[in-house]
Amino acid sequence: MSGEVGAVRRFAFPEDGRLDAPMRASWRRDGFLILEGFATRPLCALLRDRVAELIEDFDPAANRVAFSAATQSHASEAYFLDSGDKVRFFIEEGAVGPDGRLDRDKALAINKIGHALHDLDPIFGPFSRDPRLAETCADLGLADPALVQSMVICKPPEIGGEVLTHQDATFLHTDPQSVVGFWLALEDADRGNGCLFALPGRHRGPLKRRFRREGDDLRMELLDPSPWMCDGEVALEVPEGSLVALHGLLPHRSGPNLGPRPRMAYALHVIDRAATWSPDNWLRRRADDPFRGFDE
């Protein structure tokens, strides 16, 4: 079943994860796919409870790195650079007071947790390797999918940071482009609490930037200086439990969360091992700990 809300088409997640012809056509046309009902409300509650446990065990005095999608100021920190095979915590910029300490409870100060929950966490690990999602990957054209990055994006109320328009292939580059992002709404997401926005069809355009790693230095390389043309942008408002698939070249963003409601999500990024992983990507794994597939 499918429906239209403005220009946004949405579907019920198929029980076996296999995409039918209208779903595949919508993906090819828009560069994103909204699949409602991927996760039940009890499962979303379980995942949120796990996030609360992780945050409870986190000591902000030991690692107080603020994440900024706008300035990428966190990128110079070893704590970030070495997080590709770890579970680490990043603070909202607006949660740090003049004295350098958190100015609110840490549960309301986390920007995100990443980047290897899919490999290391006892709850998010099995969830990330749902066999239905492997079927979805196959129907999106991934011949040999591997899970490369995962993160809980907390978007806390009142200070949840804006994420500017970007393409996921900027940060997770393969040749040819193969990255697909899966974004699970752990809570209802709408304009009021910082939902996703996307530019339908613009995934057929070029990659505009590359985030390259050179030793311990990171730089953003401009590939196409033309500005984003944001006419036709749509809000991807979704209920809790919805899965949004995002093409690696699709321009998308999320608004700030300045209201009273939280907007937690789980993002999982998958590449095709039939493509070549670019060695200058920021995210690194040891040779003895490579990216793994759904059944590995």
State pLDDT tens for residues 176-216.
999 999 999 999 999 999 999 999 999 999 999 999 999 88
Question: Which stretch of 36-40, 63-67, 79-83, 265-269 has the lowest confidence by average pLDDT?
Answer: 63-67
Name the band, by pLDDT with cuts 50, 70 and 90, for residue 73: very low
Q: Give the pLDDT of residue 68.
A: 53
Give the whole-angstrom CA distance, residue 59 versus residue 20.
Answer: 46
Sorted by where each begins, the domain ranges of the chain are: 2-277
Q: Give the pLDDT of residue 236.
A: 98
At the second CATH level, the architecture of 2-277 is: Sandwich (2.60)
**Residue for token pair 């296999």:** 18
User: Which amino acid appears at position 230 of this protein?
Assistant: C
The CA–CA distances, whole Å, from 162 to 2, 39, 158, 166, 255 equal: 30, 25, 11, 12, 5
Q: Which two tokens stand for residue 169?
A: 């292939």
Percent of the chain with pLDDT over 70: 93
> Is the predicted pLDDT of residue 3 greater than 50, yes or no?
no
Q: What is the mean pLDDT of residues 257-285?
A: 97
Q: Give the pLDDT of residue 76.
A: 47
